[in-house]
Amino acid sequence: MLINAGKYAGKTVELIVLTEPQYVYWLLNKDVSGPILKIKSHAQSLIDRFDAKPILNKICNAPTCSAEAKKMSLTVGSLNPYWWCSSCDPYSIGASYGTLQVVGTYRQALDHVQRHSLSPVSDSRELIRVLARSKGLPDKAGEPQARVFFATMLHP
């Protein structure tokens, strides 16, 4: 879906969801109508697709584990991901209770940034980029790659 007006005119909602998460966060938390409501609804649909995609090609960070990671955690105040499988528990290998937050969805990523970041615009971009790459988005992604990313449903 192409945005027809405003700052993001000429860009697709697909690209905006991946590159401008603070705008999407604002949009999701606003009571809107008309054309903006259509953009909001489409963005939510894309986020649902984003969240349904599994984490790919990541290995559990537990020292004695080599299983595929299924989850990502972040330490409060950090954007460095800790990848772990369904069997391992980061607390059992030394993480301090209350310092980790599981971040597996788009909304969880944005909520983490809102609560713990001094630079929400750049940090939300970086965190969504990390999470999207873990779900199959190429490193260099523009409009075509964003469309393919959202059009392709991957299965665990």
Q: What angle do CA 118, 122, 127 make, to 5 degrees?
A: 100
Are 65 and 86 a contacting pair, CB within 8 Å?
no
Would you say residue 48 has pLDDT above 70?
yes
Residue 97 binned pLDDT confidence (cut-offs 50, 70, 90): confident
Q: What is the pLDDT of residue 52?
A: 94
Residue 149's SS3 state is helix
pLDDT per position as a tens digit, 105-119: 999 999 999 999 889
Assess contact for 112 and 21: CB atoms under 8 A.
no
pLDDT tens-digit map of 74-88: 988 889 999 999 999
What is the value of pTM for the model shown? 0.91
For 121-126, the CB contacts below 8 A with 24+ separation are 121/22, 123/79, 124/21, 124/22, 124/25, 125/19, 125/20, 125/21, 125/22, 126/79
